[in-house]
């Protein structure tokens, strides 16, 4: 993937497919620590032990349109290519957490990219899901909690086009403020 | 700097509109964007966001945009299906932002399929 934000989008679709009601996306980037960390945590249906052991292998998928699941192996490889770490934990009925870290100054590291578009796409995919997106940098932290948006909007859905574009701009401005997503 | 309170203004504007959102009726055009790993890697995210922007900018209240997983033709991603009110489904392949603008103007607004972008044109 050209951007880590695209991996995040892809991995989070797995959470949506697993019928998660709550999904937490956390990104931390630190130039001083030379490290980017990404975690996607959901309360979806989870995976059993056997599937969990296999999902990092690019020949496993529960999809029927093709035999090879690509999302998790790609994310894992993009982390390991930068001397980073990857882990995934899951429990049936409880949920799944996917973690990846990246050495920030590694030549093979993809840029974080357009997180704002990723969040807008995810919210548009299912505006009933409770998303909590946290992004921290050396200069601060930004948190977007869709519950706070619902509190302002009442009955107006988050998937309303005017609301989605507002959310996109809101994220961009706040990331700008903490110098986030630029690397 | 934007504040969450601005959403109140959007909310009031919305509530003044009688017809909040295209509830599905005889006029509904559906746009379905394939967003599986293969689609995302090929550029589906900007395609989706371009449709959302066109829908907003042109106030296309009868268009519903949804996302789906893999449509099964990974080599043609990004793939978009447009389903018009008469039930006709058109499959557009190898989409990008420029193509979105054209599909919106010609197909969604003027009801004329953009043949050059369809899967049929690529399979020839
Ligand atoms: N968050 C999750 N909760 C439950 N099951 C999951 C989760 N993430 C992945 N899985 C399981 O692991 C499998 C492999 O996921 P992966 O993203 O690698 O491929 P895929 O989603 O099947 O296909 P694609 O290549 O389009 O991503 C999924 O089919 C699903 O069964
Ligand atoms: Mg996947």
On whether residue B97 sits in a domain, the answer given is yes
Domain around A141:
4-178
Is there a contact between A153 and B13 if contact means CB atoms under 8 Å apart? Answer: no
Q: Tell whether B58 is within 8 A of chain A (Cβ).
A: no
Is there a contact between B36 and A13 if contact means CB atoms under 8 Å apart? Answer: yes
Number of domains in chain A: 1
On whether residue A140 sits in a domain, the answer given is yes
Q: Tell whether A157 is within 8 A of chain B (Cβ).
A: yes
On whether residue B92 sits in a domain, the answer given is yes
Query: For position A1, what pLDDT does the model report?
Result: 94
On whether residue A165 sits in a domain, the answer given is yes
On whether residue B96 sits in a domain, the answer given is yes
Positive or negative, the Cα torsion across B102, B19, B25, B78?
A: positive
On whether residue A23 sits in a domain, the answer given is yes
Domain around B93:
24-123
Q: Tell whether A156 is within 8 A of chain B (Cβ).
A: yes
On whether residue B101 sits in a domain, the answer given is yes
Q: What is the CATH number of the domain that holds A33?
A: 3.30.565.10
Q: For residue B63, give both structure tokens.
A: 């268009």
Confidence grade of residue A87 (pLDDT, cut at 50, 70, 90): very high
β-strand pairing of A130-137 with B80-83? unpaired
On whether residue A183 sits in a domain, the answer given is no
pTM of the model: 0.94
pLDDT, tens only, A106-123: 999 999 999 999 999 999
Chain A interface test: which of B44, B45, B62, B74 (most A C-beta within 10 Å): B45
CA A17 to chain centre: 14
pLDDT, tens only, B23-54: 566 789 999 999 999 999 999 999 999 999 99
Long-range contacts of A6-9 (CB under 8 A, 24+ apart): A6/A113, A6/A118, A6/B40, A6/B41, A6/B45, A7/A38, A7/A71, A7/A74, A7/A75, A7/A78, A7/A100, A7/A110, A8/A38, A8/A40, A8/A115, A8/A118, A9/A118, A9/A121, A9/A122, A9/B35, A9/B40, A9/B45
Can you say whether residue B12 is alpha, beta or left, with left for phi > 0 and alpha for psi between -120 and 50 degrees?
alpha
Q: What is the CATH number of the domain that holds B38?
A: 3.40.30.10
Number of domains in chain B: 1
On whether residue B16 sits in a domain, the answer given is no
CB contact at 8 A, B34 and B23: no
């Amino acid at each position: 993937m050209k951007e880590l934000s695209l991996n995040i989008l892809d991995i989070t679709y797995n959470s949506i497919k697993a019928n998660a009601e709550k999904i937490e996306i956390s990104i931390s980037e630190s130039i001083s620590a030379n490290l980017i960390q990404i975690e996607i945590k959901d309360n979806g249906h989870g995976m059993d032990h056997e599937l969990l052991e296999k999902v990092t292998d690019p020949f496993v998928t529960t999809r029927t349109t093709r035999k090879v699941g690509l999302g998790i192996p790609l994310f894992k490889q993009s982390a390991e290519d930068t001397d980073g770490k990857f882990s995934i934990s899951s429990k049936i009925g409880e949920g799944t957490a996917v973690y990846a870290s990246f050495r920030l100054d590694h030549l093979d590291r993809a840029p974080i990219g357009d997180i704002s578009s990723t969040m807008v796409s995810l919210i548009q995919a299912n505006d009933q899901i409770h998303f909590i997106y946290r992004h921290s940098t050396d200069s601060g932290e930004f948190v977007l909690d869709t519950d706070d948006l619902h509190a302002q909007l009442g009955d107006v859905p988050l998937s309303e086009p005017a609301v989605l574009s507002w959310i996109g701009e809101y994220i961009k401005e706040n990331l700008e403020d903490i110098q986030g997503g630029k690397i | 700097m934007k504040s969450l309170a601005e959403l109140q203004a959007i909310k009031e504007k919305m509530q003044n509109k009688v017809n909040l959102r295209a509830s599905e009726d005889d006029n509904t055009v559906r746009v379905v964007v394939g967003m599986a790993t293969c689609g995302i890697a090929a550029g589906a995210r900007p395609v989706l966001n371009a449709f959302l922007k066109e829908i907003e900018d042109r106030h296309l209240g009868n268009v519903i945009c949804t996302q789906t997983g893999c449509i099964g033709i990974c080599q043609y991603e990004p793939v978009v299906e447009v389903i018009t009110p008469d039930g006709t489904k058109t499959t557009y392949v190898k989409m990008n932002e420029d193509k979105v603008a054209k599909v919106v103007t010609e197909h969604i607004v003027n009801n004329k399929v953009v043949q050059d972008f369809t899967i049929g044109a690529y399979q020839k």
